Amino acid sequence: MVWNESRECMSRDEIEKIQSEELVGVVSRVYHNVPFYRAKMQAIGLEPGDIHGLADLEKLPMTTKQDLRDTYPYGMFSAPLDDIVRIHASSGTTGKQTVVGYTRKDVDIWSECMARSLSSGGAGRDSIVQVSYGYGLFTGGLGAHYGAERIGASVIPTSSGNTQRQIQIIRDFGSTHICCTPSYALYIGDTMREMGVHKSEIRLKAGFFGAEPWTENMRREIEERLGLHALDIYGLSEVMGPSVSCECLEQSGMHVWEDHFIPEIINPETLETMAPGANGEILFTTITKEGMPLIRYRTRDVSSLNYERCPCGRTHVRMTRITGRTDDMLIIRGVNVFPSQIESVLLEFGDAAPHYQIIVDRSDNLDEIEVQVEMTPQMFSDEIKNIERTERKIMSALHSVLGLAAKVRLVEPKTIARSEGKAKRVIDNRVLK
Ligand code: ADP
Ligand code: ZN
């Protein structure tokens, strides 16, 4: 079912007309309300009056995550706090989070986008939607929840974790749709097998899986284990949260809700705009947001845009599965982790730059992270119990900065391979087959 046919099935001309009008509006809003944007535009001699529509998009300066950190916490807000009804945050380097604020209208549009996404996966009033994304500062849980309520489904807010209970609920409550990370979906499949629950005992028809990279093979595996259609859903808290784009049942690319977000693909080296179909970094301009609009936001996610007509009837452009990042961000159990965050914690424990390595693995479909740190010769001569105490201290410091449990192992001096060039800090053994 198409949730909002007049919007989702518009002609390209109509989409571009809306984008042009909204772009002019948002540029004027941020110029007048956000000193950061005004300064950036003034620096290149640009005024809101120079932006007449979509064709002028490329004249605008790009925005980065660093800009959000520099203006932490509220410097990018375009609406007064009086009008902000919700604040979310996602992990950032050196403890600074990326903060986003939503007005009532923003939450409303977010719910609309999520409603479109759920509908394009076949969910409706008669569906039972289990939201197994985490609820909290992370946008996954509440984002999916509001959309599921919007379509009138019966929503089960299980949040993540407690897998056996999740499975009991899937089976006993008859959940028809589920929202969670793809690795958690696989984990649910494993646990079902251990519990002896067969897929014929459950009613799941489709799942909306996102917040981390996955592959076509994982899709097949999830579909096989859970007996459902596994759909890719994409979002990032800076832009909105889940449902910036989502796959329909055709399963060939995620429709970007283009009356709210304008996507572009650039070459991350030259920053030039790339032709439709080319693979590069995807950027978004949020044209209807009031709380914290973003102009040409660099996501660092690699994708491409497909403007061909989708058989489902929706006309909004499809972005292909995210195939990588143009920076070193890792996603561990749905949490964004930058190696620099780990380094900053380690620096607090020694005087010199530490030799360390981050090892990421996936065991039983759960991500695991271990940080190996070289001891200094004098630490090495220390008693075992002192070494263990240091490990525990680092572990707890990492936990509070990353919001995630990481194993810490102090290793003998000179055991971590030195590299001639850039140090290889991360060994990611997760094979996303
Ligand atoms: P959210 O709260 O929506 O997960 P975050 O800001 O925590 O947003 O993380 C956003 C990042 O998660 C994206 O920039 C992207 O790297 C990754 N991500 C989100 N959805 C997907 C997806 N479907 N496929 C691959 N990566 C994704
Ligand atoms: Zn489609």
Angle at 243 between CA 64 and CA 124, to 5 degrees: 170
Rounded CA-CA distance 188/163 in Å is 6
Alpha-carbon separation of residue 17 from 11, 12, 14, 55, 110 (angstroms)? 10, 9, 5, 11, 21
| 160, 110 Cβ separation under 8 angstroms | no
Q: What is the pTM of this model?
A: 0.90
Query: Quick count: other Cβ atoms within 10 Å of Cβ 308?
Result: 11
- Ligand 1 atom closest to the CA of 336, numbered from 1: 7
By the CB criterion, residues less than 5 angstroms from ion ligand 2 are: 248, 250, 310, 312, 314
pLDDT value at position 97?
84
Taking the mean position of all CA atoms in its chain, how far away is CA 398?
21
pLDDT bracket for residue 92 (50, 70, 90): low
Residue nearest to atom 2 of ligand 1 (CA): 139
Query: Is 178 strand, coil or helix?
Result: strand
Q: What is the pLDDT of residue 54?
A: 98
Q: For residue 310, how far is its CA from the centre of ligand 2 (angstroms)? A: 5
* Chain segment 126-162, per-residue pLDDT in tens: 999 999 999 999 999 999 999 999 999 999 999 999 9
pLDDT in tens, 396-432: 999 988 888 999 999 988 888 876 666 778 999 997 7
Q: Give the side-chain half-sphere CA count within 13 A for 254.
A: 28
Beta-sheet pairing, 318-319 with 305-306: antiparallel
User: How many Å apart are CA 8 and CA 369, to the nearest integer?
Assistant: 41
Ligand nearest to the CA of 9: 2
Q: Are 165 and 194 in contact (CB under 8 A)?
A: no
Strand spans (E) along 109-205: 128-131, 154-156, 177-180
From ligand 1's centre to the CA of 388, what distance in Å?
Answer: 35
Residue 364 confidence (pLDDT): 85
For residue 209, the ligand 1 atom closest to its alpha carbon is: 23
Helix (H, G, I), strand (E, B) or coil at 279: coil
| Across 1-7, average pLDDT | 97
Nearest ligand for residue 233 CA: 1
Show the ligand 1 pocket: residues with CB < 6 angstroms. 90, 138-140, 210-213, 232-237, 241-242, 299, 301, 322, 331, 336
403 vs 256: CA distance, rounded Å? 30
The CA 297 to ligand 1 mean position distance, Å, reads: 14
Please give the domain boundaries of the chain with CATH numbers for all domains: 1-326 (3.40.50.12780), 330-428 (3.30.300.30)
Biggest CA–CA distance in the chain, Å, is 72
**Residue whose CA is at the smallest distance from ligand 1 atom 12:** 211
pLDDT for res 351: 54
Query: With contact defined as beta carbons under 8 Å apart, do 121 and 95 qualify?
Result: no
Atom number of ligand 1 nearest to Cα 235:
3
DSSP states of 189-230 as a string?
Answer: HHHHHHHT--GGG----EEEEESS---HHHHHHHHHHH-SEE
* pLDDT on residue 359: 95
Please say if the pLDDT value at position 347 is more than 90.
no
Average pLDDT over residues 186-202: 95
Q: Which runs of consecutive H residues, i.e. helices, occur in 264-374?
A: 339-347
Cα(411) to centroid(ligand 1), Å: 33
> Confidence class of residue 95 from pLDDT cuts 50, 70 and 90?
low
Decide the pairing of beta strands 154-156 and 128-131: parallel
The H-or-E segment that residue 99 falls in is strand 98-103
- Report d(CA 5, CA 84) in Å as an integer: 29
Percent of the chain past pLDDT 70, that is, above it, reads 97
- Give the distance (Å) from ligand 1 centre to CA of residue 320: 14
pLDDT at position 129 is 98
Q: Which tokens is 223 given?
A: 């579909």
Q: What are phi and psi of 263, to 5 degrees?
A: -90, 150
Supply the residue whose CA is at minimum distance from atom 1 of ligand 1: 236
